[in-house]
Copies of this chain bind each other. A is one copy, B any other.
Amino acid sequence: MPQFRALDKLDRKLLNQLQKDNQIPTRTLAEKLHISQPTCLRRIRDLRDVGVISADVSVVDPSALAFGMLAFLEVSLVNQSDEFMHDFEARMNKEAEVMQCYFVSGEYDYFLVVHVIDMDAYYQFVRRVISGSGNVRHFHSRFPMKKTKFTTRISFDEKAEELQVKVKK
């Protein structure tokens, strides 16, 4: 039962800023947006309370890891009943190497982005998690050579009048 809420221009400006830097003092941010510091703080707290901001985190630069590689992994299951799919998804959720998992239409059932230290670690991962899972019919690996863009930032239009969003609370 999703409730809805409107984000006004100020909310969207705050979100655009906080997605770049959430350590900026509320006072500095308030000055930037020409509002008072308590208003700024209240808005931010509200966005967190209702779940529009779901977390506040440090971002670790993946390229800092001396030896890291990515793999795309397409997987089709033997048994696609709800129970087995749920099982597979739960398993991927547990594995730290799995950065992203999508349920897709087409030839394969799942598309995974896997992050490992090197090719040997990838081989170990595939044997342990994929081919060893008992419910994988077929899988296929592809290796991106370079990540040229990666962002989690959602850009909000700061001019539009109003935007409706679903909220948790």
On A, residues with C-beta under 8 Å from B are 4, 15, 18-23, 51-66, 70, 72, 89, 92-93, 96, 98-106, 110-111, 115, 142-155, 163-167
Contact = CB atoms under 8 A, between A and B. Distances in A.
Contacts of A150: 99-101
Copy total for this chain: 2
Nearest to A92: B149
Nearest to A51: B61
Contacts of A106: 142
B111 A144 contact: yes
B104 A144 contact: yes
A8 to B, nearest CB: 15
A169 to B, nearest CB: 11
A106 B103 CA distance: 22
Given A64-B52, A65-B154, A103 B144 contact: yes
Given A4-B66, A111-B72, A154-B115, A148 B58 contact: no
